[in-house]
Chains A and B, each alone.
Chain A
């Protein structure tokens, strides 16, 4: 069964440094997402991406964050200047094929996440 893959599995970065988290969504999916989960807390939506642009973003997704689909397979999340509070698990997800109909009727498929630790 196709799956979403994320790299690296664990990233350790000094505060203030830029970090890029990478995801390879399921190949025929059209909608891409980033979520994060701070240790012991809920999974929180960050951003959704469709047709090469952001379709929705949460309050967490401020100017320090950006997303990109640099080629036909990768989907990246960049944090420009990391803060201690950015330490979390970051999950990528994808959903929706060309013929799949309403998005609310489509499951999202998640990767196993990147653990980001800011020192």
Chain B
């Protein structure tokens, strides 16, 4: 398993930005960093992924450290619907399955 380390839980106020950190200190140069989230009673949902440079999409931004040992998922304006467990997953080259850890449970406070 490709191990990542995330805080167990975080809180954010509604409409404020949220920065969710992840450590992946032994990642190799060709392995991708993926983020998924799981809303209550739903399946995992893809959020974003990247390799080296920062990535943006309609859901979030992904900031990857220059040494690639850590990354941060950024939700620019948290909404109540963003309350979920967020998983940072390091996908090794040649792998085609996701290894989910325990993730970060994000609580959004109205």
Contacts and interface: CB of A to CB of B under 8 A. Distances in A.
B96 A48 contact: yes
A45 B49 contact: no
Contact of A33 (B93, B97, B102): B97
A104 B43 contact: no
B102 A42 contact: yes
B94 A104 contact: yes
Contact of B91 (A35, A44, A104): A104
B49 A107 contact: yes
A109 B46 contact: yes
A110 interface: yes
A31 interface: yes
A31 B93 CA distance: 16
A104 B44 contact: no
Counting chain A CB atoms within 10 Å of each CB, the highest count among B32, B42, B44, B46 belongs to B44
Interface residues of A toward B: which range? 20 to 34
Contacts of B51: 105
A102 B95 CA distance: 9
A45 B97 contact: yes
A55 B96 contact: yes
Given A104-B31, A107-B34, A110-B43, A44 B100 contact: yes
Contact of A48 (B38, B49, B97): B97
Contact of B46 (A42, A102, A108): A108
A50 B96 CA distance: 10
Contact of A42 (B32, B49, B93, B101): B101
Nearest to A112: B43
Contacts of A95: 96
Contacts of A91: 43-44
Given A104-B31, A104-B32, A104-B91, A56 B46 contact: no
A31 B34 CA distance: 17
A113 interface: yes
Contacts of A104: 31-32, 91-96
B42 A108 contact: no
A35 B100 CA distance: 10
Interface of B: 31-32, 34, 38, 42-46, 49, 51, 87, 91-102
